[in-house]
Structure 1
Amino acid sequence: MVFVGVPLCVECGTSSNPCRCKVIGPTIGFLAFAAVALVEWPVGALVYCFRHPKGRRIMSHPAAVVYPSVSNCIPI
């Protein structure tokens, strides 16, 4: 039997809300990270063959920019 569930990310110890725990922001951030990574990692790998620094920057974009910005904009 295969169980396919929705990824649930929990971040505890934050000071952005009274509960000190975030669930919705990190979960949506992870889903946005995965969607962007599906596009940017193959493109970054192709660019890396010709221009190493540019390819590295493209491949690190989902983790360095997308996930933190989406996760931090939702305080719950």
Structure 2
Amino acid sequence: MAVGAPIPICVQCGTAGNPCRCKVVGPTLGFLAFAAAALVEWPVGALVYCFRHMKGRRIMAHPATVVFPSVSNSIPI
């Protein structure tokens, strides 16, 4: 019987976005979106990097600079 990997739970405390001052759902979904985007964009970015260095770096940085913050900040809890 195979057991799958556990889903990571990310907690961000000290935010002013909700009365509890902690976020769980937003950062966790942000991490899952980051992982899905990175799975696609990092190999593509590595291939592009061979020919156009700055463009390849921007593609590989996209999950961390755009995907994770936008998903994490869009969900206040």
TM-score (norm 2): 0.94
In the alignment, is residue 49 of structure 1 matched against residue 60 of structure 2?
A: no
Give how far 1:3 is off.
6.8
Shift of 1:4: 2.3
RMSD of Structure 2 on Structure 1 (CA):
1.0
- Structure 1: how far apart are the matches of 2:5 and 2:50? 35
Percent of pairs with identical residues: 79
Give the drift of 1:22.
0.1
- Count of aligned pairs between the two proteins: 75
Give the match for residue 6 of structure 1. 7
* Distance verdict in 2 for CA 1:42–1:15, change over 3 Å: same
After TM superposition, the runs of 4+ consecutive aligned structure 1 residues lying more than 3 A away are: none
Alignment of 1:19-38 (within 5 A): 19-38=20-39
Query: 1:64 maps to which residue?
Result: 65
Distance 1:50 1:68 in 2: 28
**Structure 1 unaligned runs (5+)?**
none
Unaligned runs of 5+ in 2: none
Give TM-score scaled by structure 1 length.
0.96
